[in-house]
Amino acid sequence: MKRLLFIALFCFAGAATAAMPQIELAIGKHRLAAEVASTDPHRMQGLMHRRMLPENRGMLFVFRDVAHHGMWMMNTYIPLSVAFIDEAGVIVNIEDMQPHTRDSHTAKKPVRYALEMNLGWFLKRGIGPGMKIEGLEKAPPPR
């Protein structure tokens, strides 16, 4: 019986951490690949427990509702910058986030998406509020 319980828990954990879909996004001339967190388990996990994030790779969060969403960094080892993005794909604001903090970083206006990249990624490329992100329509719908 213990063995069956272990197998069931192992399978459940595997399903909860199943690979996230990936999409290609563009901001002006800059291209990036993003894992898509469009389900509650994936949005809750985010980039937690990862030790590194390759250059030009990130995570796109797709929210069910357009709202003043916030992000935090509990159990996250990588310093990140997050761009909050409205339904039209326009960056509303970008916030820098430090590892292992519970500070809330919030969208300044209601948004549908958030894109996390390595700390300073947007700044290094001259990407800021008002710029449009292309390719968001390829993201799976939120569940």
In a domain, 50, yes or no: yes
For residue 18, what pLDDT is reported? 61
Q: Is 8's pLDDT higher than 50?
A: no
Q: Is residue 90 included in any domain, yes or no?
A: yes
| CATH, residue 46 | 2.60.120.1140
Domain count, the chain: 1
pLDDT digits (tens, 9 = 90+) for 29-46: 999 999 999 999 999 999
Q: Distance (Å, rounded) from C-alpha 90 to C-alpha 98?
A: 24
How many Å apart are CA 134 and CA 34, to the nearest integer?
12
Ranges 14-18, 19-23, 138-142, most confident: 138-142
- What is the domain extent for residue 59? 20-138
Is 6 among the domain residues? Answer: no
Kindly state whether residue 130 falls inside one of the protein's structural domains. yes
Q: Torsions phi, psi of 4, nearest 5?
A: -65, -40
Whether 25 maps to a domain, the answer reads yes
Does residue 28 surpass a pLDDT of 80?
Answer: yes
Name the β-bridge partners of 25.
Answer: 32
For 1-143, strand residue ranges (E) read: 22-27, 30-37, 57-67, 70-71, 80-85, 91-97, 105-106, 111-118, 133-134
Note whether residue 7 is domain-resident: no
Residue 65 in any domain: the answer is: yes
At 53-78, the pLDDT tens digits run 999 999 999 999 999 999 999 999 99
CA-based end-to-end distance of the chain: 34
The closest alpha carbon to 94, from 122, 67, 136, belongs to 122
Per residue in 94-143, pLDDT (tens digit) is 999 999 999 999 999 999 999 999 999 999 999 999 999 999 999 999 99
Q: Among candidates 51, 48, 78, 55, which has minimal Cα distance to 125?
A: 55
77 occurs within a structural domain:
yes
